[in-house]
């Protein structure tokens, strides 16, 4: 209330009322003028002043105590924490949804694939060829040698499996031996890693013919031979043709479509049409030879 009565507007209003009271007293001898001043000017202004004062009293609330302010502050902090938790959960769900959509596309484009979506949970700092650990294991149907890919292309294969996780050897590791083919020229070879290029996320395609027709920009995909990898999975593009410094044989420098150094999720392909075909052929051949010996 003190703020209202000490305000400039209120003081002006009181001053006007006082002047009008003086005028009313001066004109008291003239009933006509006094009546006009009182009836049409003074009474309405007094009502306005009264309404203004009553309104001010209703709208102004007494100041809150320290305890009330602290309680209100604690409630606001708790609400802020709750909203932050909801925001984090939203981002997690959005990320999971985006990744599932990518894996859905893999399945949609390859109906014969059995796909296990997974997340990168760690990397070995002593791993020179950017292998990584995924959060799926034998409990999810994952087995050694299962190919691993993203929606961009092949990234490696499962080399070790535990119940709830597995380790992946990347395609830029010398341990990787992926049967591959130049999609444009049909030249075949083996995509593997090299210490010379791995830090740049680059692979090489070896065992190609000296008469190959490969060129920079050609797309390299899996050949499907050997039964370990599905056919026609994208690997990368040819950056240039070179020669192996040890053997002198031609090699193609291949830049993978997916940078294995930075991936955060991948799809493990636990089954596909043609998986293990070579092994089955070898077993069949062995059985035939045994039958002949008998």
Q: Is the pLDDT of residue 87 over 50?
A: yes
The set of residues, in sequence order, having a beta carbon less than 8 Å from that of 49 and lying 6+ positions away, is: 13, 14, 17
Q: Are 269 and 113 in contact (CB under 8 A)?
A: yes
Q: Give the C-alpha separation, 272 to 230, whole Å.
A: 7
Q: Is the pLDDT of residue 282 over 50?
A: no
pLDDT score of 35? 55
Structure tokens at 101: 């959509």
Is residue 205 very low, low, confident or very high in pLDDT (cuts 50, 70, 90)?
Answer: very high
280 against 6, higher pLDDT: 6
Residues of 81-97 as b/e, b for ≥16 C-beta within 10 angstroms? Answer: eeeeeeeeeeeeeeeee
Q: Give the C-alpha separation, 62 to 47, whole Å.
A: 26
Q: Is the pLDDT of residue 82 over 50?
A: yes
Structure tokens at 42: 């003074």
Find the mean pLDDT for residues 16-25.
61
Residue-range domain boundaries for the chain: 2-59, 63-109, 116-272
Q: Partners of 69 in the beta sheet?
A: none
Q: How many CB atoms lie within 10 A of CB 130?
A: 24
Q: Is the pLDDT of residue 240 over 80?
A: yes
Is residue 141 very low, low, confident or very high in pLDDT (cuts 50, 70, 90)?
Answer: very high
Residue 153 has phi, psi (to 5 degrees) of 155, -170
Structure tokens at 7: 């305000």
Per mean pLDDT, which range of 133-147, 212-226, 235-249, 276-290 is the poorest? Answer: 276-290
Percentage of residues in the chain with pLDDT exceeding 70? 70
Find the mean pLDDT for residues 218-223.
97
- Tell the CATH topology of 116-272: Thrombin, subunit H (2.40.10)
Can you give the pTM of this predicted structure?
0.65
Q: Which residue has the tokens 């001053």?
A: 15
């Amino acid at each position: 209330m003190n703020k209202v009565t000490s305000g400039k507007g209120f003081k002006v209003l009181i001053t006007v009322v006082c002047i009008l009271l003086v005028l009313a007293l001066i004109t008291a001898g003239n009933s006509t003028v006094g009546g006009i001043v009182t009836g049409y000017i003074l009474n309405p202004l007094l009502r306005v002043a009264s309404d203004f004062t009553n309104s001010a009293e209703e709208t102004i609330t007494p100041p809150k105590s320290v305890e009330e302010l602290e309680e209100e502050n604690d409630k606001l902090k708790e609400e802020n924490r709750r909203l932050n938790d909801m925001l984090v959960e939203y981002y997690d769900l959005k990320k999971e949804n985006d990744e599932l959509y990518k894996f859905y596309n893999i399945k949609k484009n390859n109906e014969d694939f059995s796909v296990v979506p997974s997340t990168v949970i760690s990397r070995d700092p002593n791993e020179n060829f950017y292998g990584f650990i995924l959060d799926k294991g034998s409990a999810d149907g994952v087995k050694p040698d299962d190919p691993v890919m993203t929606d961009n292309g092949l990234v490696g294969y499962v080399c070790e499996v535990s119940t709830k996780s597995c380790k992946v050897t990347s395609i830029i590791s010398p341990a990787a031996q992926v049967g591959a083919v130049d999609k444009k020229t049909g030249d075949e070879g083996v995509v593997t890693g090299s210490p010379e290029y791995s830090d740049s996320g680059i692979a090489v395609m070896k065992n190609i013919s000296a008469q190959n027709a490969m060129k920079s920009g050609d797309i390299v995909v899996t050949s499907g031979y050997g039964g370990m990898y599905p056919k026609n999975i994208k690997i990368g593009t040819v950056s240039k043709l070179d020669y192996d410094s040890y053997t002198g044989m031609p090699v193609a420098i291949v830049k993978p479509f997916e940078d294995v150094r930075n991936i955060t999720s991948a799809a493990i392909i636990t089954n596909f049409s043609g998986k293990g075909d070579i092994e089955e052929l070898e077993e069949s051949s062995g059985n035939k030879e045994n039958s002949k010996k008998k």
